[in-house]
């Protein structure tokens, strides 16, 4: 129910502070029956205090209900490709989620029955643009100043693929007419970006102190003067702009741009999940690269906040502190995941902390108030001699607690192969391209990117079990080849024909066109050493890896008998996992299409089930009205597999203990 109205401002402020601290302390201070925020709590720990499903009974899980929206690409070409990566919310007695076609559904959490749906009729279901339609989640807010039961006293906020921020009544699904224009705010306002698909939100907004904070994806490698990477806060009641942060260096004077915008074009964007410390009024923003990603010769210092974790004031939008995970990033190693807010005895002296995972396979543990590393971070020399016109950073930051998590072996003798023939083929390719470690710069002849620009770790983030002092995270260990081609030699390359994973980017405004693709054998197998996917638990107190296992299999990806002969290869994975207080870690993510449960203590696989489509999302859990604990995951596939859109809920049989 909504909070009552308090006429006394001091009393209302005290209530807000208490409520904010209570929300951030989830799940320890709450019954953990709900999943009210994308990451489970305001700090995105991906952790639930529910203990009904345990290592002893998890093998009995069965499908409770399935909701099929029908919102997915069917191969006919009538719509763009789709990624179904939503993590639902369980709050207000309902389950809320969004689809790749940007529809929002409210479901009965026990049965999956539809309670309402909203269709924004987005304009970008078809048309140009290489990026799949996607919506990772929605955000819930209760207006403490609204009368009980008032229309839009409870709201759902989310961003669409045609760059609108929408507010809906959480009880009925009707737009909140007092927000923006008929419940909508145009996020392309002042950006002057003619391509709707080139700048839009992909992650749920953050609501804090009656403000809605939202960021937005900006298309990679198109041009120097790409749309600015704005982070903006809007009044949660009216939709009025409260502040806007353009990630440019302090004192920066905007340079002339072809765009008619007051903001600096080409600045680093922020596309992943934002988190917030309600008590301290801090908004934590993961940032990406300036434009374009793979060549920085035209940036002129604009990447001051690129590939960083930045803390902003919720009141003003001003930078409180920032920490850069990659200097002058020319690898597309943008900070891809939610800054995780946690506090654990024995970790950094028990101070409030931030854990930031990266595509490089680094985990930085930072003081939440100051941004200072809790443990030593070393600036180590890295390779130089990039393409003409490039000026590379001489050093890069390496954490020591925990140490870098991604393997670094990439020599011809490390080549994988299913047969001697394709192993030799991979060895020749590794020898052909430049490889000097994770920070090998793009070159004219071609360089190996390892980790891949998809990670390492990616947007699915990690789960933190503070009681056990564990961080559990999945990774990719796939290599790619990156080549910059002088523009005058690239006449035969058509960026419009690019299709992941073989990509061509125009990088207009630079001397180069970029080409990027997988490093694989003639049989289509990755050349990098196995495992190609891993799952690991880090002891945050000691910094040591408690356990590490290959994650995923080649089942469904390679013909028989390859999966049988090579059972420990791991597999590429996209998405993340969730931990519970009972000692379980749930994750889909793997390209083999399974949804699995592991022991948090030792990494043993305790249960798995095959999903109809890949589960490339982050699962969640809650307790229904019936008292049963449910676990839910979005099953939707991706650009490398069959696409669908099924939300699937699991529970123990009614008679199970």
Residue numbers annotated as active site: 332
Q: Where are the alpha helices (DSSP H) in 433-581?
A: 562-565
Cβ atoms of 440 and 390 within 8 Å: the answer is no
Distance of alpha carbon 596 from alpha carbon 593, whole angstroms: 10
Token digits of residue 186? 């145009």
Distance of alpha carbon 123 from alpha carbon 118, whole angstroms: 15
3-state helix, strand and coil shares in percent for the chain, rounded to the nearest 5? 10, 30, 60
DSSP per position, 545-606: EEEEEE----TTTS-TTHHHH-TT----B-S-EEEETTTEEEE--BTT-EEEEEETTT--EE
Neighbours of 162 (CB within 10 A): 18
DSSP per position, 281-344: TEEEEE--PPSSSS--TT-TTGGGGTTEEEEEETTT--EEEEEESSSS--S-----SPPEEE--
Distance of alpha carbon 88 from alpha carbon 447, whole angstroms: 40
Cβ atoms of 579 and 570 within 8 Å: the answer is no
Closest of 135, 324, 329 to residue 220, by C-alpha = 329
Cβ atoms of 306 and 288 within 8 Å: the answer is yes
Closest of 323, 329, 327 to residue 308, by C-alpha = 323
């Amino acid at each position: 129910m909504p909070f009552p109205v308090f006429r006394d401002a001091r009393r209302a402020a005290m209530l807000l502070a208490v409520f904010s601290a209570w929300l951030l302390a989830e799940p320890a201070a709450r019954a953990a029956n709900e999943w009210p925020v994308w990451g489970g709590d305001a700090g995105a720990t991906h952790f639930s205090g529910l203990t009904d499903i345990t290592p002893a009974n998890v093998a009995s899980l069965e499908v409770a209900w399935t909701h099929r929206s029908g919102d997915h690409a069917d191969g006919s070409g009538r719509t763009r490709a789709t990624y179904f990566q939503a993590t639902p919310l369980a709050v207000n007695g309902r389950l809320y989620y969004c689809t790749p076609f940007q529809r929002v559904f409210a479901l009965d959490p026990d049965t999956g029955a539809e309670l309402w749906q909203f269709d924004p009729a987005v304009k970008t279901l078809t048309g140009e643009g290489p990026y799949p339609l996607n919506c990772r989640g929605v955000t819930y807010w209760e207006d403490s100043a609204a009368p009980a039961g008032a229309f839009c006293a409870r709201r759902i906020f989310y961003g669409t693929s045609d760059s609108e921020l929408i507010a809906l009544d959480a009880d009925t699904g009707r737009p909140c007419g007092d927000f923006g224009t008929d419940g909508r705010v145009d996020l392309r306002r002042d950006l002057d970006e003619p391509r709707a698909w080139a700048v839009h939100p992909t992650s749920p907004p953050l609501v804090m102190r009656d403000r809605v904070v939202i960021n937005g994806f900006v298309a990679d490698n198109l041009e120097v003067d790409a749309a600015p990477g704005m982070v903006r806060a809007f009044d949660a009641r009216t939709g009025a702009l409260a502040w806007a942060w353009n990630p440019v260096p302090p004192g920066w004077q905007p340079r002339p741009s072809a765009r008619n915008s007051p903001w600096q074009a080409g600045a680093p964007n922020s596309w992943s999940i934002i988190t917030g410390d309600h008590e301290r009024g801090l908004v934590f923003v993961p940032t990406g690269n300036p434009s374009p990603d793979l060549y920085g010769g035209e940036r002129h210092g604009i990447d001051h906040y690129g590939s960083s974790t930045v803390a902003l004031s919720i009141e003003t939008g001003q930078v409180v502190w920032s920490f850069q995970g990659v200097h002058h990033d020319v690898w597309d190693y943008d900070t891809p995941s939610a800054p995780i807010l946690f506090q654990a005895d024995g970790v950094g002296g028990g101070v409030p902390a931030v854990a930031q995972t990266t595509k490089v396979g680094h985990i930085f543990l930072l003081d939440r108030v100051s941004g200072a590393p809790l443990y030593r971070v070393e600036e180590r020399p890295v390779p130089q001699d990039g393409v003409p016109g490039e000026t590379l950073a001489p050093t890069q930051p390496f954490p020591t607690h925990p140490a870098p998590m991604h393997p670094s072996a990439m020599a011809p003798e490390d080549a994988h192969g299913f047969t001697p023939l394709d192993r030799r083929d991979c060895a020749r390719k590794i020898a052909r391209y430049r490889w000097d470690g994770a920070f090998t710069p793009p070159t004219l002849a071609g360089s190996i990117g390892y980790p891949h620009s998809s990670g390492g770790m990616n947007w699915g983030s990690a789960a933190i079990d503070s009681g056990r002092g564990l961080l559990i995270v999945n990774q990719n260990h796939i290599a790619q080849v990156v080549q910059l081609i002088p523009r005058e030699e690239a006449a035969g390359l058509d960026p419009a024909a690019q299709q992941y994973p073989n990509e061509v980017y125009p990088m207009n405004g630079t001397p180069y066109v970029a080409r990027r693709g997988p490093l694989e054998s003639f049989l289509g197998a990755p050349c990098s050493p196995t495992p190609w996917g891993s799952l690991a638990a880090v002891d945050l107190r000691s910094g040591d890896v408690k356990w590490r296992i290959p994650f995923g299999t080649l089942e469904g990806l390679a013909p028989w008998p390859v999966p049988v002969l090579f059972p420990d290869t791991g597999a590429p994975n996209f998405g993340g996992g969730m931990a519970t207080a009972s000692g379980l870690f749930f994750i889909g993510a793997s390209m083999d299409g399974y949804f699995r449960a592991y022991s948090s203590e030792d990494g043993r696989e305790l249960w798995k089930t095959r999903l109809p489509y890949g589960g490339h999302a982050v699962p969640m859990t809650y307790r229904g009205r019936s008292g049963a604990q449910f676990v839910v995951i979005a099953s939707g596939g991706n650009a490398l597999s069959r696409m669908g859109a099924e939300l699937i809920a699991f529970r123990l049989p009614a008679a199970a203990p």
